[in-house]
Amino acid sequence: MTETGSNTMWGGRFAAGPDAIMEAINASIGFDRRMARQDIEGSRAHAAMLAATGILTNNDAEAIREGLLTVLSEIEEERFVYSSALEDIHMNVEARLKEIVGEPAGRLHTARSRNDQVATDFRLWVRGQTDAAVTGLEALQRALLSQAEAGADWVMPGFTHLQTAQPVTWGHHMMAYVEMFGRDAARFRDARARMNESPLGAAALAGTSFPIDREMTAQALGFDRPCANSLDAVSDRDFALEFLAAASICAMHLSRIAEELVIWTSAQFRFVALSDRFSTGSSIMPQKKNPDAAELIRAKIGRIFGANVALMTVMKGLPLAYSKDMQEDKEQVFDAADNLMLALAAMEGMIRDMQANVPALEAAAASGFSTATDLADWLVRELDMPFRDAHHVTGTLVAMAEKRGCDLPDLTLEDMASVEPRITGGVFDVLGVRNSVASRTSYGGTAPEQVRAQIARWKEKLA
């Protein structure tokens, strides 16, 4: 394939081609070649429609179809020669098609513009990434479900302010992330439903005078319907912004669990051990096993947030319809999608492989006066004490235990009775961490029976 001057694509309007600087700033082939398959898919649908409506002869349509398949095979086999002088993937494909089939290639662009062409290609690409994100999220949810099922009754500390709050079960903690990532998947599905309209046929901005069938091309490309307004069709990038918004929230959730893994693998916590597949060593400290995959996920999230802000900034001041500013949409989305998929895959691997240190979890759950709330609840339930009074009594007993260097269950009945004489020996039934988690049977609570019910619900949803 030979390179040709870019002035040819602009017809007779320009006498000379751009200089090197203009070519460099104007060309997008360095990144939009990723949409080659989508571009050819859209062109094939467009050519078939032109033939069906009589705008193109069947012979020309068949030549174009065969030629596009040849171009696609060259691209997939990495034999295709890209030209920056031809600016973008659309003109690169069209130029190669002309070399293969000759004059019919020039008829392919009838009743369309690069404006609706790129909008269609980009929607198809983002739609595919949206589906991939849902698949990645469901794989991660299944890994979390496996962990939750294994440890539905393992006890660990629950935290607020990163301070020990109340005992929870390992399964309950894992299921919290199943819920988060479930909402992420739902956001991607919602975004997909809104983006699934076809811009093809909107042409440059005003539609076309040719008798095209936009329903036909929309159906051929898997869209639910054509976009209803040609101005909006070529200038809309909401679909990319929604993808980035959903990706940003998902990335935030990934960063939260990555942060927990960094903390949990530390020598001070020792809650979990990551597999060697997702850890690295130190060049100087032989004892180190670093949770680098988790740390890199935590860091890569900034790129996804940044892409969201960058594209919002590109779009915020654009009048209708298309402006060249919108060429800056793709690199942001490509990078965010790449990093999101990498982060999802890495997190799924870490979660699936990680080993919980069950004795360390239970020992930590029993520290820090984690059953203080259970004591307060017992005082309310058994002694009919107002909760604020029970809170004060419990706080006094916590201070007593702290002064003696012990935990609440280590206080004697006499110690407790010195603060509240009506306390009986029955209070010790709620002070153990296992008793504590078993008592939290409200819907969505941490009791093992509730955790198993939620695991069953999610298994059915993901089946």
> In the structure encoding, which two tokens stand for residue 175, read together?
């299921």
Does the CA dihedral 134-140-146-147 come out positive or negative? negative
Whether the upstream peptide bond of residue 321 has omega within 30° of 0, thus cis, is yes
> In the structure encoding, which two tokens stand for residue 340, read together?
């999101």
Nearest Cα to Cα of residue 174 among 272, 251, 304: 272
* 458 vs 97: CA distance, rounded Å: 49
DSSP 8-state secondary structure symbol assigned to residue 319: P
- Asked if 265 and 274 count as a contact pair (C-beta separation under 8 A), the reply is yes
> In the structure encoding, which two tokens stand for residue 342, read together?
């990498």
Active-site residue (options: 161, 209, 283, 442): 161
Does the CA dihedral 63-69-73-76 come out positive or negative? positive
* 340 vs 360: CA distance, rounded Å: 32
Crossing angle for the helix pair 292-315 and 238-264, to the nearest 10 degrees:
160
> In the structure encoding, which two tokens stand for residue 349, read together?
């691997």
- Asked if 95 and 4 count as a contact pair (C-beta separation under 8 A), the reply is yes
90 is catalytic: no
- Asked if 433 and 365 count as a contact pair (C-beta separation under 8 A), the reply is yes
* 208 vs 214: CA distance, rounded Å: 11
**Residue 209 corresponds to which amino acid?**
S
How many residues does the structure list for the chain?
A: 463
253 is catalytic: no
Hunting for tokens 């990934």 — which residue is that?
A: 254
Active-site residue (options: 73, 282, 323, 367): 282
Angle at 304 between CA 299 and CA 308, to 5 degrees: 145
Q: What is the largest CA-CA distance in the chain?
A: 100
> In the structure encoding, which two tokens stand for residue 344, read together?
């999802």
* 135 vs 448: CA distance, rounded Å: 28
CA-to-CA separations, 273 to 149, 158, 280, 350, 381, in angstroms, rounded: 18, 19, 13, 10, 40
Where in the sequence numbering do the catalytic residues fall?
161, 282
